[in-house]
Structure 1
Amino acid sequence: MVVVGNIYAITAVSVVGGALFGFDISSMSAIITTPAYKCYFNHGPKGPPFNDDDQCSGLSSLAQGGVTAAMPGGSWLGALISGFISDRLGRKYAIMVGCIIWIIGSIIICASQNMGMLIAGRIINGLSVGIESAQVPVYISEIAPPSKRGRLVGSQQWAITWGILIMYYISFGCSYIGHGNASTSHNYSESVFRIPWGVQMVPAVLLFFGMMILPESPRWLARHDRWEEAQSVLALVHGKGDANSPFVIAEMQEIRDMCEFERANKDVSYMELFHPKMIHRTMTGIWTQIWSQLTGMNVMMYYITYVFNMAGYEGDATLIASSIQYIINVIMTVPALIWVDRWGRRPTLLIGATLMMIWMFANAGIMANYGEVVPGGIGGVAEQSMRLSGAPAKGLIACTYLFVASYAPTWGPVSWVYPPELYPLRVRGKAVALATSSNWAFNTALGLFVPTAFATIRWQTYIIFGVFLATMLVHVFFLFPETAGKTLEETEQIFEDPNGIPYIGTPAWKTSHDTKRTVAAESGDVEVLGEKLAVAEKRTAAHAEEV
């Protein structure tokens, strides 16, 4: 079988797993305000389903929160089990298993007859998204060269944004199907939501067959004593087929040294992640994913139509205005793909948190000072609890767009890039799975919390997220070390620095990156490679003494 060796082609195929998450987000956000969805799944005072009244109130706040939270709830479980699947079957086949699960879940969603079926299908889809979101970054990080790792793993986020945008416009187009069709027993066609929910199977099918021609992670192969295959993959991807390339030889030696040390350790359990020497990096990875949720970005993605309805937009105007933020998300992710390895991880996270905090507090101020409380919500939708008009409404929309533009090149891609860089090979699969599961746990909680928050505490919802952003700014500065430009094995030095803080290592604010040296090493600079090998040998010897 032909095996693809171009790192950009490998990335382009594998990050389709991220598009699955994006498809799911906008398959709900573009549909939850359509009359077809609200009438078919009507749980309001004008139920049962398919009420002919154009003003069907749809699901209650709690019910809609449950439907929305079903997918991240399943993703939490999927991320947790992905570590076992990945360690047993390999990174590549774990991703393929996720594809099969996604197809099954999408079939159930597409055929949903009631809210129970819809929730069940979304939970199954969530299992898939949890596996893909945890293991695609691990797969790419283990196969990518250090100088390109940030942009390549960050492509996961770009794929998510494309998935959101594509599915949003598919859903928007389908919203016109069957409207006012007198030949039906109701005013709206089920195709409005069934077609988008069926189309989302397509990327999973493409990803499944695409993964067949991609190589396995060389580090996973080495961990399982498949050394010849590991060297062949490194030569194919990093040495243009030359197994004697200086960089391939040096990288292979680093992997071999690390694996030899790890032979002294038993099989890894999740408990090892909370060992005193490991807990700092475990919590750093977990908090990276938690903070990415507590920025409030996915809230903007799921419930953006509510925000624009409160700003005075109605019908198609709401959907079109909402789509602009998805376009911004796609475009503004591109700078990170080009420069994130040059910027470094720390500066990117710090700047992103600062800017998002400004826009979040600005939104709170606008709604608090100019918003008019609407009892029962606009159009009977409790979440649309306030109304704005004129300049304040435009200001709210502008700050929302600026928030998305600040998230897209910063926390969006880096939250996927950073966790796989923190862990040694023997625990990476399970550690990233645990970190990603925390993302989905908080995604689930926010999916349940936000509709009720918009309905009850209104503008204060933005204050809560603003405080989260201020807190993460401090946390990142003091405890998130720089990992850009380092091999995954070199990152070990930061956490095991004997002159650093006990159980933490080199203080985060003292860490930095040197992109030029990394590029020189990959180009075969003998002097730089010699220094890297000397450091690796010294570290291996130190490990041996500990054991």
Structure 2
Amino acid sequence: MWQASNVYFICGFAAIGGALFGFDISSMSGVLGTQAYKRYFGNPVSYAQGGITAAMPAGSLVGSLFSSFVADHYSRKVALQFASVLWIIGSILMAASINIPMLCVGRVICGLCVGIASSIVPIYQAEIAPKRIRGRVVSLQQWAITWGILIQFFIQFGAAEGIGGGPQDPNQPTAAFRIPWAVQMVPAWILFIGLFFCPYSPRWLASKGRWEEALQVLANLHGKGKIDDPRVLAQYREIEEALEKEREQAASSVKMMFEWKMFRRVLLGMSVQMWSQLSGMNIMMYYIVYIMEGAHIASPLATASIQYVINVVMTFPAVMWIDKWGRRRPLLCGSFGMMTWLFVSGALQQYFGQPNTDATRTPQNSDITWIVYENRPVSSAIVSCSYLFVATFAMTWGPVSWTYPSEIFPSKIRAKAVSLSTAANWFWNTVLAFAVPPLLWNISFRMYYVFGAFNAAALIHMFFMARETAGYTLEEMDDVFNSKSRPWETQKKPKSRVDQLAEDIEAGNVEVPVPLREAPVDVAPMMKVQSSNPSASTVEDVKTASPGPATLAESK
């Protein structure tokens, strides 16, 4: 079967798994303001709406914890295909919902998919990509999330406006929310089928002893199919040495993960995901309609749609330049910026807002308790702060929060550690999805101060703990985190081992053994391949090439 070999295409296609996350986020925000949804499900507010919204992240929490089992045993690719099937089942149940319990079950199943995909997509992308563009391609996960949010919101918006008499029609048909929930299964079908044409992760293949396949995948991805390319052989050697080092350690992957030096890394990965939730971004996405109603400016759905466009547009610069900007700087600048916009927005609402009483209450804003009434400049400033907050997150924490945990762990524990990191994301996502409607109802503008304080805490934490990882291979992360330097101290990055090794191979100073197919992998004879053999394009070619640079060696 034909296999794709372009890294950007493979990682971009896998990012459809992230788009499913985005679809789910706006699948709720787009229906909250429609009369069809409110009438059919009994106008859920406060804890009732919080429970519906929290059903998806609750499923995602379970899915993220379960993801490492599927990914380690059956491969990253198969795990994503399994997640796609779950999404299709969940979407069918949501679209056919006849009551709140059935809707919640559908959202839980969709959440299982999102939990698996959000854990495994970044791992798959990081293990496919070379170090120089790893941040860029893993950031495609976040960009896909923003596209999913935008596309599904406009599907919801179009259905809300085009079906019946519009979102304020008290007799609006339930197709206004059923059609969008059914349409969202389309990308899952595309992802499931398309992954058959994507390669397995070379690092996963190597961890299973499938060295010849791993080498050929590396050659296809990074050497135009030639296994004698110095970059291919250098990466192969790096992976081989890293796995040998891990095998020499008697500790199991679970025990290794909880050794203090490694557990500090696990806690850092979990913290990055936790702070990305406590920044308040997903709350802005889930409940932006309520926020716009409180600002009392224009159409809440139309005003909110601008925010989704900003999210997509402003994520693109981060995708392009994250490998140049690094990881640490965006984390620090993002926390400071989001803290600022939240404090300003909260202060504006505190000093210019008022309780939403009978004098100001309308059918359109009956779901909120605090409102800025007939003060256009202040309302515009609140909306502007919301837009600036989203833009700041999109350029900083959005892409980095997925990239950083996917690259800081060794191969032996990567899937498990990333699943724990992502589980932290979903735990706090669940808590906030359930808690924010009551917060908006009971403490109104003070909620902005709470999340502003979270961003201040994240700024301090990341300053003292987050190390720069841009430009290092996955196999060099032990060097980064075992360094005696302080995280905030600027260090001149030494030349990468894999780059030096590639130069030595190209110069003919190093020979790299590669496996033959005829014998079992664990006892297979190896071939020493030098990069100077132009006829050795694939493993099969090496085996039939004339004697010379490629010579048989003793078994390893």
TM-score normalised by the chain length of structure 2: 0.87
1:5 is matched with which residue? Answer: 5
Give the CA deviation at 1:519.
Answer: 12
The answer on 1:434 being equivalent to 2:454 is: no
Secondary structure of the 1:175 match is: helix
2:337 is matched with which residue? Answer: 355
2:399 is matched with which residue? Answer: 413
Aligned residue identity for 2:264: H
- Of residues 510, 515, 520 in structure 1, which corresponds to 2:489? 510
Q: Measure, in 2, the Cα distance between the counterparts of 1:522 and 1:152.
A: 24
- Of residues 456, 471, 489 in structure 1, which corresponds to 2:442? 456
The verdict on how the C-alpha distance between 1:89 and 1:262 changes in structure 2, with shifts beyond 3 A counting, is same
Q: Measure, in 2, the Cα distance between the counterparts of 1:97 and 1:522.
A: 39
- Of residues 357, 380, 393 in structure 1, which corresponds to 2:379? 393
Q: Measure, in 1, the Cα distance between the counterparts of 2:507 and 2:464.
A: 31
2:288 is matched with which residue? Answer: 304
Give the CA deviation at 1:250.
Answer: 1.1
Aligned residue identity for 2:428: F
Give the CA deviation at 1:60.
Answer: 2.6
2:499 is matched with which residue? Answer: 521
Secondary structure of the 2:161 match is: coil
Give the CA deviation at 1:272.
Answer: 3.6
The verdict on how the C-alpha distance between 1:268 and 1:434 changes in structure 2, with shifts beyond 3 A counting, is farther
Q: Measure, in 2, the Cα distance between the counterparts of 1:187 and 1:233.
A: 57
Q: Measure, in 2, the Cα distance between the counterparts of 1:202 and 1:265.
A: 45
1:97 is matched with which residue? Answer: 82
The verdict on how the C-alpha distance between 1:152 and 1:392 changes in structure 2, with shifts beyond 3 A counting, is same
Question: Is contact 2:45–2:437 with CA below 8 Å preserved after alignment?
Answer: no
1:114 is matched with which residue? Answer: 99
1:66-465 alignment runs, 5 A limit: 66-180=51-165, 187-265=171-249, 268-313=252-297, 317-375=299-357, 379=363, 381-388=366-373, 389-465=375-451
Q: Measure, in 1, the Cα distance between the counterparts of 2:173 and 2:468.
A: 52
Q: For 1:430-484, what per-residue CA distance to the aligned partner results, in whole angstroms no more than 9, with x for missing partners?
A: 0000100110000000001111111111111000111111111111111011100
The verdict on how the C-alpha distance between 1:488 and 1:307 changes in structure 2, with shifts beyond 3 A counting, is same
Q: For 1:24-60, what per-residue CA distance to the aligned partner results, in whole angstroms no more than 9, with x for missing partners?
A: 1111101111111000001xxxxxxxxxxxxxxx103
User: What's the RMSD between the two structures over aligned residues?
Assistant: 2.5
- Aligned sequence identity (%): 46
Q: For 1:477-529, what per-residue CA distance to the aligned partner results, in whole angstroms no more than 9, with x for missing partners?
A: 110111001001111112233xx2xxxxx4211255759x6699399545999
1:536 is matched with which residue? Answer: none
Q: For 1:209-241, what per-residue CA distance to the aligned partner results, in whole angstroms no more than 9, with x for missing partners?
A: 111100111111111100001111111101111
Q: Measure, in 1, the Cα distance between the counterparts of 2:241 and 2:196.
A: 30
Q: For 1:368-419, what per-residue CA distance to the aligned partner results, in whole angstroms no more than 9, with x for missing partners?
A: 1101111487647443532343211010001000001111010000000000
The verdict on how the C-alpha distance between 1:318 and 1:532 changes in structure 2, with shifts beyond 3 A counting, is farther
Question: Is contact 1:378–1:386 with CA below 8 Å preserved after alignment?
Answer: no
Q: More displaced, 524-533 or 235-244?
A: 524-533
Question: Is contact 1:247–1:522 with CA below 8 Å preserved after alignment?
Answer: no
Question: Is contact 1:484–1:513 with CA below 8 Å preserved after alignment?
Answer: no
Question: Is contact 1:146–1:518 with CA below 8 Å preserved after alignment?
Answer: no
Question: Is contact 2:504–2:510 with CA below 8 Å preserved after alignment?
Answer: no
In structure 1, stretches of 5+ residues that fail to align are 43-57, 501-505, 534-547
> Based on CA coordinates, which of the two structures has the bigger radius of gyration?
2
Q: Measure, in 2, the Cα distance between the counterparts of 1:37 and 1:418.
A: 38
Secondary structure of the 2:474 match is: coil
Question: Is contact 1:8–1:152 with CA below 8 Å preserved after alignment?
Answer: yes
Question: Is contact 1:16–1:207 with CA below 8 Å preserved after alignment?
Answer: yes
Q: Measure, in 2, the Cα distance between the counterparts of 1:6 and 1:334.
A: 20
Secondary structure of the 2:261 match is: coil
Give the CA deviation at 1:189.
Answer: 0.5
Question: Is contact 1:95–1:131 with CA below 8 Å preserved after alignment?
Answer: yes
Q: Measure, in 1, the Cα distance between the counterparts of 2:437 and 2:142.
A: 25
Q: Measure, in 1, the Cα distance between the counterparts of 2:369 and 2:307.
A: 19
Give the CA deviation at 1:268.
Answer: 4.0
1:472 is matched with which residue? Answer: 458
Question: Is contact 1:65–1:451 with CA below 8 Å preserved after alignment?
Answer: yes
Q: Measure, in 1, the Cα distance between the counterparts of 2:508 and 2:372.
A: 65
Q: Measure, in 2, the Cα distance between the counterparts of 1:384 and 1:173.
A: 28
Q: Measure, in 1, the Cα distance between the counterparts of 2:510 and 2:142.
A: 31
1:25 is matched with which residue? Answer: 25
Secondary structure of the 1:490 match is: helix
Question: Is contact 1:83–1:433 with CA below 8 Å preserved after alignment?
Answer: yes
The verdict on how the C-alpha distance between 1:260 and 1:271 changes in structure 2, with shifts beyond 3 A counting, is closer
Aligned residue identity for 1:342: K
Q: Measure, in 2, the Cα distance between the counterparts of 1:36 and 1:528.
A: 66
The verdict on how the C-alpha distance between 1:529 and 1:77 changes in structure 2, with shifts beyond 3 A counting, is farther
Aligned residue identity for 1:299: I
In structure 2, stretches of 5+ residues that fail to align are 512-556
Q: More displaced, 91-100 or 487-496?
A: 487-496
Q: For 1:302-336, what per-residue CA distance to the aligned partner results, in whole angstroms no more than 9, with x for missing partners?
A: 0001111111136xx21111000100000000111
Question: Is contact 1:250–1:529 with CA below 8 Å preserved after alignment?
Answer: no
Aligned residue identity for 1:297: M
Aligned residue identity for 1:274: F
